[in-house]
Structures are given as C-alpha cells and as structure tokens.
Amino acid sequence: MSADFPKSDRILARDLFRRVYENGRKIQFKYFTAFVLPNKTDKSRLGITATRKMGNSVERNRCRRLLREAFRRNKWLAPAGVDIVINVRRSLVSAGYRDLEVEFTTFLEKAGKK
C-alpha cells in the first residue's frame, strides 16, 4: 500500500463532512473525537476539523499535520471503505507525535470493529 496522501484519500466537501457527522458513529479519545461512516468506495478517506477555540492558526495547522501524518503512516490499519472525520481537541496542541500515533492506531483498530 502506498504511503502517500492523495486528494482521493481526503474529505474536502462540506456536505460529506455533514453526512459523516449526522450518520456516523462517534468515538472519543483524549486528543480527538472521530466520526466513522461507511462509504461506497473501497478507500478510507480522512477529514480533519480544528476550530478557532483550539488555538491560533499555527497550533491548528500543527495538529492537522500531525493527524495527516498519523493517517498516512497507518492507513493500512484503517478499515476499507469508511469516511473518517476527526475533530481535534485542545489537548493535542501540547502532545507529541508518538503519543498521538499510539492513540490514532488504537482508534483505527476500534473503527474496524462494529
């Protein structure tokens, strides 16, 4: 499996985010809240939201970069054919990549189980 993160692996449209929020299964963790919804493709797609109350743009962008990298490196663990939307929590701002990656892999394993 490729370790890149092309646009086909991303959720970019607002209506797709909304569909996952309204119909997806919610899973909460220390650094993020995730919503998971099966899609009609064989690919797993990721969307990330980081609101202004989380911090300034530098902090929000760092959190998004960390999550994208964790997904990129571990997407082989993700169940096939799901849309994942991640809402970043404030605690991720001070977290290191290793801590996030451990939690993210735990999430991916849980997301595969119904």
- Bridge partners, residue 34, by sequence: 27, 86
Which ranges of the chain does DSSP label H, i.e. alpha helix?
14-23, 57-74, 97-112
- Please state the rounded mean pLDDT for residues 55-68: 95
Residue 114: band (very low, low, confident or very high) from pLDDT cuts 50, 70, 90:
low
**pLDDT tens by residue, 68-101:** 999 999 988 888 899 999 999 999 999 999 999 9
Residue 38's pLDDT is what?
93
**pLDDT tens by residue, 6-46:** 888 899 999 999 999 999 999 999 999 999 999 988 889 99
Q: What is 7-112's CATH number?
A: 3.30.230.10
